[in-house]
Amino acid sequence: MRFDARLGLAIAAGKLSAASIRWLGRGGGTALPGVLSNGLDPDVLDKLAARVPGGCIVVAGTNGKTTTSRILAETLERAGFGVIHNRSGSNLVRGITAAFTEQVSLGGQPAGEIAVIETDEAAFPEVVRRTKPRLIMLLNLFRDQLDRYGELDTIARNWRETLDGLDPSQTLLINADDPTLAAISEDSPAQRLTFGFRECQYTLDHLPHAADAAVCRRCGASLIYDELYLSHLGAYHCDQCGYQRPDLTFGARDITLDGLDSGSLVLETDQESLAIQGRLPGLYNLYNVTAAAAAGLVLGMPGEVVQAAIGDFQAAFGRIERVQVNGRTLVLVLIKNPTGFNEVLRTLAMSEMTDPVLILINDLDADGRDVSWLWDVDAEHLAAVEAPLYTGGIRSGDMAVRLKYGGIPPERIIPLGDVAEALDPFIETIPEGGTAFVLPTYTAMLRLRELLHRRGSVQMFWEQ
Amino acid sequence: MKLTICWLYGDTMNIYGDRGNVLALAQRCRWRGIEAEITTLGVGEELDPDAYDIFFWGGGQDREQIPVSSDILGPKGETLKALLEDGAPMLSVCGGYQLLGKHYHPYGEEQLPGLGFFDAWSEAGPERFIGNVVVDSGRFGTLVGFENHSGLTFLGPTAEALGRIRVGRGNNGQDGTEGCIRLNTLGCYLHGALLPKNPAVTDFLIKAAIKRRYGVEELEPLEDDLEVIAHQQAIKRAVATG
């Protein structure tokens, strides 16, 4: 391989800055090295991606991309592959570039045979253009509280353009239960494979408020759901033009949720069926498991490796995490957006647990500065939960009011202060040996982990 | 007693947590033993002048506002305007507020006629106002919310502003006013949602409704501890970020 001086310099800069940022204790060093490398060689990501012998896999979606890409990376590692992966969830172009410069030699030799890249929705077109993935996984598109007017439409339009520009050597693996994804992938020249729920006992009676109304992308009529599983995901058809959910290449059935601890399903293809058991709660995680297992099979991984990787999987940074503090267990569940929040509340309500819950709402840029989105969440799910509900964070008052107007008796709602002020009073309410749930927004989770780290309870995320 | 809340165009104009306003109206009725029903009224559906007690009209995207604007012209708009002139209470936010004025001029599009209930008009502005807002209003004390609009609203000589901006940009970023109030109808740019954190406004609307329907003057007070905490937190936050 010819030595590329510019590329070599870019890689060296990326590696040095990541090391020095960590040494200075300033944080994970997950994005700045990418900024530096990109500045020195704007094509660094294209060049490095092209040198990965087994090619790149890109994972995109509003919710579940970190969990899904981690399960897939773990599956590939178990099968003996060296995997390049933006593990800390730094999923913009600069973060992805940083992950690549970290995981190659100074001469530009990749330290792995295959790359699993989680990408942000807005960065998806550029990441696909630069890394020319062999496999693209699309999980879902939900409305986010950070969306400006019409942003979801724009993302769908940009994704469609990207998919239309693929070639037949590339493979698309999409969640067919999401009508938007099914529609925008229809005309792609890539080979399209699908996954979804073939049969599921957990259904919704109507579209949640946080979901956008599902409209047939072919003719504009309202879609009819034969089954609705989560937000706007389900089995659907259009009465007007006959459009319907595409056939499932990978269909999940026998879907079972076991409280807050685990779930299981059977993944069916034309040739085989694979029983899968995972230690991840909630229907939303079973979508992630379905996606990751399907991708593993597409990549030719043996069924037992897929089963074992999912069976042993530990949740990604803060998605669901169990932490020991003073002899008590805190279950941390990140709240990302209205749909994610709804599913967490639905999972808590279905488990019939009575442990204390602390909801931490911040309103910094990464959380969404406008807390109006709390009103798009169905807090009503918690009315049936016989647990004390504490609120904290910069906007603990807004969350407390949301719960009250959701029909939770005010005496069960206890507003506390910001994350640092709320933590100890909350822990004191948990009996010795007991369990409690903490549901923080993004920056509240960072703050919470920082506080727990000081007590030695959690590792910081770049150490995982 | 029973009150029926009409959520105008609730199926299309429902962004930024507007549902919170409708929930607040319904719950504060129920907590007082007043039965409350929420119905949405969409494009093409007739407005029965005797069916509703409180109206809510929220915001939408420009492209959603065009069919609504043509729907509100003609008999439906006349009925609605007559109800508001008669003292029917309404809260309108953002897009709904703009359409209660004389006209709205979106960017690069034709001017949309409004209902002309407020002596006010709106036009697309060059900048988007996004952030926490605190308003000093004579009638309701301080109001807190979150604005997110590029439309600018200007009040005519006979219009009364809802209040003066303490933090934020308000109607147009120039004259220090926010919102408009006439009879029992309020228009403003305050999301958040507005009513749960500003219970004085919610109760004003409910009180006007029970007086108009049942001739009842008294509204039982409620315990508002949590609402006060959220309200005070929002003021603190607005001052820190504004």
Contact B192/B20 with Cβ under 8 angstroms? yes
* pLDDT confidence band for B70 (50 / 70 / 90): confident
Told to judge if B29 belongs to the known catalytic residues of this protein, a careful annotator would answer no
- Indicate whether B13 pLDDT > 80: no
Distance, CA of A461 to chain centre: 15
Question: What's the rounded Cα separation, in Å, for the pair B168 and B165?
Answer: 6
Cα–Cα nearest to A241, from A213, A217, A206: A217
- Say whether residue B20 is in contact with chain A using an 8 A CB cutoff: yes
Q: For residue A464, what pLDDT is reported?
A: 35
Closest-CA distance, A56 to chain B, in angstroms, reads: 38
Question: What's the rounded Cα separation, in Å, for the pair B133 and B166?
Answer: 7
Cα angle B53-B55-B57, degrees, rounded to a multiple of 5 = 175
**Cβ-proximal residues to A218 (8 Å cutoff; 6+ apart), any chain:** A183, A238, A241, A243
Largest CA distance in chain A: 71
Helix axis angle, A419-428 relative to A442-454, nearest 10°?
Answer: 60
**What is the DSSP-derived secondary structure letter of residue A278?**
E
Element (DSSP H or E) covering residue A14: helix A5-23
Contact A316/A284 with Cβ under 8 angstroms? no
Strand partners, A330: A323, A436
C-alpha distances in Å from residue A123, one per residue of A61, A120, A162: 11, 5, 11
Q: What is the mean pLDDT of residues B22-48?
A: 96
Task: Please list every residue in chain A whose beta carbon sits closer than 8 Å to the beta carbon of residue B15.
Answer: 149
Q: What is the mean pLDDT of residues B190-205?
A: 97
Q: Which residue of the set B94, B149, B188, B231 is catalytic?
A: B94
Helix axis angle, A32-40 relative to A5-23, nearest 10°?
Answer: 160
Q: Which residue of the set B6, B29, B188, B191 is catalytic?
A: B191
Question: What's the rounded Cα separation, in Å, for the pair A460 and A28?
Answer: 8
CATH 3.90.190.20, applies to A320-463: yes
Strand partners, A57: A116, A135
- Say whether residue B17 is in contact with chain A using an 8 A CB cutoff: yes
Q: For residue A6, what pLDDT is reported?
A: 74
- Contact at CB, A413 and B226, closer than 8 angstroms: yes
Instruction: Report which of residues A330 and B67 the model is more confident about.
Output: A330
The dihedral through the CA atoms of A232, A373, A93, A28 has a sign that is negative
Task: Please list every residue in chain A whose beta carbon sits closer than 8 Å to the beta carbon of residue B198.
Answer: none
Q: For residue A463, what pLDDT is reported?
A: 38
- Contact at CB, B27 and A407, closer than 8 angstroms: yes
Contact B120/B155 with Cβ under 8 angstroms? yes
pLDDT in tens, chain A (464 residues): 455 767 776 777 777 666 655 555 555 556 667 766 776 677 889 999 999 999 999 999 999 999 999 999 999 999 999 999 987 668 888 889 988 888 887 777 888 899 999 999 999 999 999 999 999 999 999 887 765 455 777 889 999 999 999 999 999 999 999 999 999 999 999 999 999 999 999 999 888 888 876 778 778 888 899 999 999 999 999 999 989 999 999 999 999 998 777 899 999 999 889 999 998 888 999 999 999 999 999 999 999 999 999 999 876 555 678 899 989 999 999 998 888 899 899 888 888 889 999 999 999 988 989 999 999 999 998 998 889 999 999 999 999 999 999 999 999 999 999 999 999 999 999 999 999 999 999 999 999 999 999 988 776 544 33
CATH number at residue B186: 3.40.50.880
C-alpha distances in Å from residue A186, one per residue of A123, A175, A181, A213: 21, 12, 9, 20
What are the residue ranges of helices labelled H in A24-64?
A: 32-40, 44-50
- Contact at CB, A376 and B17, closer than 8 angstroms: yes
C-alpha distances in Å from residue A380, one per residue of A111, A257, A320, A376, A377: 49, 21, 22, 11, 8
Give the structural domain span for B86: 2-241
Pairing of strands B141-155, B112-113: unpaired
- Contact at CB, A400 and B229, closer than 8 angstroms: yes
Q: What is the mean pLDDT of residues B70-76?
A: 87
* pLDDT confidence band for B40 (50 / 70 / 90): very high
Structural domain count of chain B:
1
Q: For residue B62, what pLDDT is reported?
A: 62
3-state secondary structure chain B: CEEEEEEECCCCCCCCCCHHHHHHHHHHHHCCCCEEEEEEECCCCCCCCCCCCEEEECCCCHHHHHHHHHHHCCHHHHHHHHHHHCCCCEEEECHHHHHHCCEEECCCCCCEECCCCCCEEEEEEEEEEEEEEEEEECCCEEEEEEEEEEEEEEECCCCECCEEEEECCCCCCCCCEECEEECCEEEECCECCHHHHCHHHHHHHHHHHHHHHHCCCCCCCCCCHHHHHHHHHHHHHHHHHC
C-alpha distances in Å from residue B103, one per residue of A17, B7, B69, B98: 56, 22, 10, 7
Task: Please list every residue in chain A whose beta carbon sits closer than 8 Å to the beta carbon of residue B27.
Answer: 404-405, 407
Q: For residue B6, what pLDDT is reported?
A: 97
Residue A50: Cβ within 10 Å count: 14
- Say whether residue B127 is in contact with chain A using an 8 A CB cutoff: no
Contact B168/B131 with Cβ under 8 angstroms? yes
Residue type, B194: L
Of all residues in chain B, what percent carry a pLDDT higher than 90? 80
- Say whether residue B154 is in contact with chain A using an 8 A CB cutoff: no
- Contact at CB, A369 and B146, closer than 8 angstroms: yes
Q: For residue A222, what pLDDT is reported?
A: 84
- Say whether residue B174 is in contact with chain A using an 8 A CB cutoff: no
Q: Is the ipTM of this complex over 0.90?
A: yes
Instruction: Report which of residues B145 and A366 the model is more confident about.
Output: B145
Q: For residue A462, what pLDDT is reported?
A: 41
CATH 3.90.105.10, applies to A1-139: no
A416-420, A423-427, B73-77, B219-223: which range is least confident on average?
B73-77
List the beta strands (DSSP E) in A259-306.
262-268, 273-278
The two three-digit tokens of residue A152, written as one number: 């979801």
- Contact at CB, B196 and A375, closer than 8 angstroms: yes
Domain boundaries, chain A: 1-139, 320-463
**What is the DSSP-derived secondary structure letter of residue A113?**
S
- Say whether residue A394 is in contact with chain B using an 8 A CB cutoff: yes
